[in-house]
Structure 1
Amino acid sequence: MKLLYSIFTLMLFSQISFAQSKGQVLDRNSRGIEGAFVLQNYKGAHYHTDRNGNFTIEKLATGDTLRVNALGYETVTRVIKNLDTDLTFALTQRFISLNEVVIAPDIDALHIFADVNLMTNPVNNSQELLRTVPGLVIGQHAGGGKAEQIFLRGFDIDHGTDIALSVNGMPVNMVSHAHGQGYADMHWVTPEAIESINFGKGPYFAERGDFNTAGFVDFKLKDRLNNNLVRFELGQFDTQRILGMYNVLDQKDHSAWISTEYISTDGPFESPQNFKRINLMGRYAGQLENNDRIGFTATYFKSSWDASGQIPQRAIDQGIISRFGAIDDTEGGATSRMNLQMEYTKNIDENSFVKTMAYYSEYDFELYSNFTFFLEDSINGDQIKQKEARQLFGGTAEYNRYFDLGENRLLFQLGGGLRNDQTIDSELSHTVNRITTLDSLKLGNINQTNTNAYANLDFTFGKWKVNPGLRFDYFEFDYYDKLLPTYRTQTENKSIVSPKLNFQYNYSSNLQLYLNTGKGFHSNDTRVVVAQNGKDILPAAYGADLGAIWKPAPKLIVNAALWTLYLDQEFVYVGDAGIVEPGGKTERRGVDLSVRYQPLKWLYADVDVNYTFARSVDDPEGANYIPLAPDFTVMGGLSAMFENGLYAALRVRHIDDRPANEDNSIVAIGYTVVDFNMGYQWKSIELGLKIQNLLDVEWNETQFATETRLAGEAAPVEEITFTPGTPFMATAVVTYRF
């Protein structure tokens, strides 16, 4: 009997033909979709597409069923009737379905959490772009034109000291900035131009260097618009926004678009903000022979504003001003940035390619602030001016090579880059009413260069993926201090080596475990470096994440992680005072939890919960709090998207009370804010309504423990100074697509 069964089985399988087959997954514009998932039912095997949408099946058999899906696209299923079947799959965009989320060794499942946010809650301003990153909190405190203050993983990152922000790989952070190290102004990005968001937390990525301690965020621009659009927004407080986005070239292998954006508002303050911003963006993307790709991006941004500044609580308690009043309403500023960028991907063969990118920026910045009022100068006040003109250029190159090792695979990456920042007349001055300069506190030229190289290995075998990496960075710091009596360029240099080692284990198609470890750093301001004579100027950061990405149900995905991060030093150049503040050694430990759930076809729920324990290592217990480090944050909401064009979303942001100084004797009060938006799209017309602070709660957007003195006060007082958060604010939106 066993002999007959063996003969029957042999005869059955002898009728099945096998072959190695190649295929491609395309979108409606015949562009390859990267990261699409291909499931082969016959073997239970799965594959994912490369950067050009290509995939290879080692053993394709007649009778196999291939199921292809990608986030935000309709799923396609095809039965293989013969081995000559065309394996080109064209996917149609659709409402996002968490059914399509796949957890596999070659897929970065973590970025899906931000992509779901972006797809279910389209953003209409550059501030909201950052809020799509799980656990990231922002605050504005200077009239809308200043870069946002950022909080992540127990860091008061200020404007970018410990998070690396980039757009298509071009850095946003400004080193040795007039207002402080790592200043990252995202306002030159039109949010509707963003295709996807890549992010990571911790210093675990060899291709990411300066500022990548708490994490990184890279925004990818669209290569092609789905349609042309014109958008008008009209809101309270004399708020207007006009946006136009147009395809100027829409061919299979070549596309180009331009966008124009204008924003103005007076804000809720008693002294109008007079805020005005213009953004111009343009991008070309082309596919050349051999699937080589090339892209060009050009942007221009300019804004100006007035600000009411941070106000002390006692001034409100004493009836001197209201919550939306000002002690010095002559604060404000102006800034601009022009960017040129080119990317080119050259395919060497089926298993290797080279990616290159080059960029150039011109940047101007001028900011007037008054944080202490009459503390230092009881007659003229303490207003300061921070100003700089900057040229920034750089580039990166990365070689990628895949090696097939039977059923296993190895990816080798070797890359490097160069960045040079040159500023003229980086200035800190004592001023009055933005007009009169009383004295110069800092004035000089900065020339800072970073060269780097890195190597990565991604070895996938069975259910495991191991990623060792090594990065080398070398910095040159030159500063010409124009306030010295004689000419002298102060020069220092420093290098640092940053090893990484990451593990990933795919227990099943629904559960991925990971352990990330690595060393990172953030550079210090050139003025800090020369002041410290080159000592302790590249403080190292050591971190580890232990986590899991779990899909317990078809429409539920969860990410949970335990993490720790230790910093050797937190030197910061305080641009407001022109001084160096060493923060000493610090440690942070925390828990991250993110959940995305789709209980109904049209309903989406998300929540991000983050807890952090952050302390200074060198200070005694009770006096070792890290000022303004958030210890508990919650962000989430519900989104409804109906096929008839109706949509709505309710969003909640919560940040708990947190210490504002080292002994927690001054507390920054937490807040809970609810936002709401809804709209209806009918054919080419879309009508919408956005409401910020739906419940009209009083909340403080940014807070600081600051020693200040008001006019006529005999002695200074240290207490909370803050910028009030936006009250109830409604904005109507009309969009026409064509």
Structure 2
Amino acid sequence: MVLAPTAQGALLVSGVLAPAMAQERVAVVLDAIQVSADGVTGKRGLSTGSEALPAAVTVIGQDEIARTNVKDFTDLLRRVPGVNAFTYGQGDIGSPIRMRGFSGNAHGGDVAIYVDGVPQNFPSASQGGSGMSDLSWLTPDMIERIEVIKGPFSALYGDQARSGAINITTRTGGASSLSATLGRYGYGKLNGVLVKEGTHGTLFAAGEVLTSEGFRDNSDMTRGNLFAKYTVPLSDGLLSLRGHYYKVSFDSPGYLTLADLRAGIVDPRDANPYAVPLFGDAERYGAVLNYAPRGEAGWNATAYVEHYEKNRTNGGTAPSTNLQSDDRNLFGGRLLHTSRFGDLALLSAGAEMRYDRGDAWNQRYTNGQASGLYTNAYRLELLTYAAFVQGQLKIAEPLKLVAGLRHDRFDYDIDNLKRPAASTTYEASVTTPRIGLVYTPVDALELYANYGEGFRSAGAPEISPQGPGVIPLGSAGGVASGDLRPPKAESYDVGFNARLGPAWRVGASLYTTKNSSEIRETFSGSGVFVPIGDTEREGYEVDVDFVPDPAWRLYGSYGYVRARIKNPPVAGRDLIAGLPDRVAGLGVEYTTPFADGMVRANANYQYLSAPPFYLAGNTPEYAPAWLRYDLRLSYQRGPSTWTLYAILQPKRFASEMTGTSVDPRPRVDGGATYTYTF
């Protein structure tokens, strides 16, 4: 599925260009088959873009972003078929992105996420486990394009790509704007975008200030983001330098148990009554240098430096709590060269390196004072480097072969401050191949099949275990696991995209993934991770778009996954706890001229089936199924746009965070936005 603006500013419906409606600033592309660099449409074309992969891919453009109710980055992924992304409601702590039966490792792991070529997953974070990603610094105004690749089928993305990858490109231009949003529960947001085109280059800058009191008690948050990017032509390409600064402070309500809510012991708006008031703060800043050719052939280069610091209290029983902290500096780069061989083949080869240095610890606080006791404490030097190659070959006009190979190596120095005997160096490597075919018998039908492997790096708590107990630094005991191998996932996938006449588009995929040595959080939000052995996932996804005329669009999707533990640690408990087996979406959009302006309305429905969890015995219990309705109405006239939005979550006690602990959300949320574009 592709949702992106056309250069002509018109509506492209299944390959038919219709006249633009009055004052239409952006357009919607509902065609699954796009023109690639060789002038050939869709997956059969030769292109480094994700649309050319033999895989299920969704591309989200600026128009889709503008039409979405966005309070958090994960809202941008809600309409992607088969994907469930959400926040925990505990402040800016990273967000799960569930895709193809993987849970997102609590805070965004299991999905490789890149922004302008910079990896966003953190190895060995103090919170959220290995691969945690935190995109709170990224606002919708900054984004040009989001590519969601389901399955480990692109060699361009490495660590954490067991369920797939997300590639994000930031903006370089467009219109300047100012906007203000007011919502329920003390929600307020100011956004600004400034675009200045000069004789030598273009400046793009975006800023955000956000405050919120939150639905639940002790949920206040204040956040600021600033982003600037300067782009200049250089040789046959574009050179850009960007910087960002992010700062947040927040209170955290903690989690409530489903049993207490059902018994009426607590109210959904209460903070956790058994814990001290929780809080957190974070600061992040960095710079990125990018070079890209004007076409696809040539050199792409990225270099970056970043500082990341985050503190968050979590868990414990009053008067004690734990302070989780990360203080890291990151450096890295990526180099990619693409060669084109006429209309026959395309070859991309590259390398990347990342160096992560800093501290990650979890310290016990009692009555607001540091106790000198630790759950874990690390000093880390983590070096990762990789080489990769991916090629495309047209075997015959309707048949294309795509193959890739990636080799990643890890050189770690882990200083275990809690149990020094477990300190160790760690050297490991992993090689992951991909191969797939695209067959296009007619222009309106694309068939694909592929095999791919993905992996995630081992985390410091797995390589250098902290052992049980909350104890002082330098305690005795501890044994390192220096021979631990990175867990791999093998995935098989078949699917199709089809246009059925001028108005219909249908896509579907069927997949099987076998994963080795999986480690899971005991329940969402616990921060406790345990090995559960080898797992297997089988599933399918279907999505449909129907555009009967330029004013209307209807869309829907359905995903099912059967996920099982092959040899569960507790016999009989073979279900993966907290994982809904069905996710569905349905939506309608309507656009029409009105009173010298343009009205846009859309309604979106989401459904998650009841997820299982275990309390006692081998019979699973089930959390409530979850429903969400997003409603949005906007009116644009000249440079002004007025928007009303509502978010309805009618199920009592239901939460996207599933298990014995939940984070209740308001049944009715909403607000209004005014935007002035210039």
Distance in 1 separating the partners of 2:553 and 2:29 = 9
1:435, distance to aligned residue in structure 2 (A) = 3.6
Which residue is 1:470 aligned to? 405
Task: Name which of 533, 539, 543 aligns with 2:481.
Answer: 533
Structure 1 residues 112, 625: closer, same or farther in 2, change over 3 A?
closer
SS in structure 2 opposite 1:584?
strand
Which residue is 1:234 aligned to? 182
Larger Rg: 1
1:123, distance to aligned residue in structure 2 (A) = 4.8
Task: Name which of 260, 266, 285 aligns with 1:315.
Answer: 260
Task: Tell me which amino acid in the other structure corresponds to 2:347.
Answer: F
Task: Name which of 646, 655, 659 aligns with 1:701.
Answer: 655
1:383 maps onto 2:321 in alignment = yes
SS in structure 2 opposite 1:528?
helix
Distance in 1 separating the partners of 2:328 and 2:383 = 13
1:441 maps onto 2:375 in alignment = yes
Which residue is 2:673 aligned to? 733
Task: Note the 1:279-294 alignment, pairs <5 A.
Answer: 279-289=225-235, 291-294=236-239
- Count of aligned pairs between the two proteins: 629
Distance in 1 separating the partners of 2:630 and 2:198 = 37
Task: Name which of 106, 109, 124 aligns with 1:161.
Answer: 109
Distance in 2 separating the partners of 1:336 and 1:119 = 26
Structure 1 residues 282, 214: closer, same or farther in 2, change over 3 A?
same
Which residue is 1:683 aligned to? 638
1:632, distance to aligned residue in structure 2 (A) = 0.2
Question: Where does the alignment leave 5 or more consecutive residues of structure 1 unmatched?
Answer: 1-32, 38-67, 78-91, 375-379, 706-719
Which residue is 1:58 aligned to? none
Task: Tell me which amino acid in the other structure corresponds to 1:283.
Answer: K
Task: Note the 1:584-623 alignment, pairs <5 A.
Answer: 584-619=533-568, 622-623=572-573
SS in structure 1 opposite 2:655?
strand
**Are the equivalent residues in 2 in contact too, given 1:141–1:310 (CA < 8 A)?**
no
Structure 1 residues 703, 189: closer, same or farther in 2, change over 3 A?
closer
Distance in 2 separating the partners of 1:34 and 1:285 = 21
SS in structure 2 opposite 1:213?
coil
Task: Name which of 590, 594, 598 aligns with 1:645.
Answer: 598
Which residue is 1:224 aligned to? 173
1:383, distance to aligned residue in structure 2 (A) = 2.0
Task: Tell me which amino acid in the other structure corresponds to 1:650.
Answer: A
**Are the equivalent residues in 1 in contact too, given 2:213–2:220 (CA < 8 A)?**
yes
Structure 1 residues 578, 677: closer, same or farther in 2, change over 3 A?
closer
Task: Name which of 95, 108, 112 aligns with 2:27.
Answer: 95
Task: Tell me which amino acid in the other structure corresponds to 1:315.
Answer: D
Structure 1 residues 562, 321: closer, same or farther in 2, change over 3 A?
same
**Are the equivalent residues in 2 in contact too, given 1:265–1:274 (CA < 8 A)?**
yes
1:536, distance to aligned residue in structure 2 (A) = 3.6
Task: Note the 1:644-663 alignment, pairs <5 A.
Answer: 644-661=597-614, 663=618
Distance in 1 separating the partners of 2:672 and 2:490 = 47
**Are the equivalent residues in 1 in contact too, given 2:113–2:119 (CA < 8 A)?**
yes
Question: Where does the alignment leave 5 or more consecutive residues of structure 2 unmatched?
Answer: 35-40, 466-479
Distance in 2 separating the partners of 1:578 and 1:247 = 42
Distance in 2 separating the partners of 1:476 and 1:431 = 33
Structure 1 residues 233, 607: closer, same or farther in 2, change over 3 A?
same
1:402, distance to aligned residue in structure 2 (A) = 0.9
SS in structure 1 opposite 2:75?
helix
Which residue is 2:314 aligned to? 369
**Are the equivalent residues in 2 in contact too, given 1:625–1:664 (CA < 8 A)?**
no
1:232, distance to aligned residue in structure 2 (A) = 0.6
Task: Tell me which amino acid in the other structure corresponds to 1:156.
Answer: S
Distance in 2 separating the partners of 1:414 and 1:97 = 31
1:507 maps onto 2:441 in alignment = yes
Which residue is 1:451 aligned to? 385
Distance in 1 separating the partners of 2:525 and 2:547 = 46
1:295 maps onto 2:240 in alignment = yes
SS in structure 2 opposite 1:118?
helix
Which residue is 1:483 aligned to? 418
TM-score relative to the length of structure 1: 0.80
Distance in 2 separating the partners of 1:195 and 1:330 = 39
**Are the equivalent residues in 2 in contact too, given 1:505–1:513 (CA < 8 A)?**
yes
**Are the equivalent residues in 2 in contact too, given 1:124–1:192 (CA < 8 A)?**
no
**Are the equivalent residues in 2 in contact too, given 1:477–1:529 (CA < 8 A)?**
no
Task: Tell me which amino acid in the other structure corresponds to 2:191.
Answer: L
TM-score relative to the length of structure 2: 0.86
1:197, distance to aligned residue in structure 2 (A) = 1.3
Task: Tell me which amino acid in the other structure corresponds to 2:373.
Answer: D
Distance in 2 separating the partners of 1:435 and 1:292 = 55
1:267 maps onto 2:214 in alignment = yes
Structure 1 residues 71, 581: closer, same or farther in 2, change over 3 A?
same
1:624, distance to aligned residue in structure 2 (A) = 0.6
**Are the equivalent residues in 2 in contact too, given 1:686–1:735 (CA < 8 A)?**
yes
Task: Note the 1:325-336 alignment, pairs <5 A.
Answer: 325-326=270-271, 327=273, 328=275, 330-336=277-283
Task: Tell me which amino acid in the other structure corresponds to 1:624.
Answer: D
**Are the equivalent residues in 2 in contact too, given 1:235–1:732 (CA < 8 A)?**
yes
Answer 1 or 2: higher relative contact order, Cα 8 Å, separation at least 6. 2
**Are the equivalent residues in 2 in contact too, given 1:431–1:437 (CA < 8 A)?**
yes
SS in structure 1 opposite 2:261?
helix
Which residue is 2:348 aligned to? 413
1:570, distance to aligned residue in structure 2 (A) = 0.9
SS in structure 2 opposite 1:155?
coil
Task: Note the 1:50-69 alignment, pairs <5 A.
Answer: none
Which residue is 2:130 aligned to? 181
Task: Name which of 305, 309, 329 aligns with 1:360.
Answer: 305
Distance in 1 separating the partners of 2:17 and 2:292 = 29
Distance in 2 separating the partners of 1:132 and 1:296 = 32
Distance in 2 separating the partners of 1:116 and 1:508 = 30
Distance in 2 separating the partners of 1:148 and 1:70 = 34
Task: Tell me which amino acid in the other structure corresponds to 2:170.
Answer: L
CA deviations on 1:499-547 (whole Å, 9 max, x unpaired) are: 1101101111100000121111111212312345233430111001100
**Are the equivalent residues in 2 in contact too, given 1:596–1:605 (CA < 8 A)?**
yes
Task: Note the 1:65-214 alignment, pairs <5 A.
Answer: 75=17, 94-98=26-30, 101-102=33-34, 103-104=41-42, 105-106=44-45, 108=51, 111=57, 114-115=60-61, 118=64, 121-125=67-71, 126-157=73-104, 158-179=106-127, 180-214=129-163
CA deviations on 1:28-81 (whole Å, 9 max, x unpaired) are: xxxxx99989xxxxxxxxxxxxxxxxxxxxxxxxxxxxxx9978999599xxxx
Structure 1 residues 76, 704: closer, same or farther in 2, change over 3 A?
closer
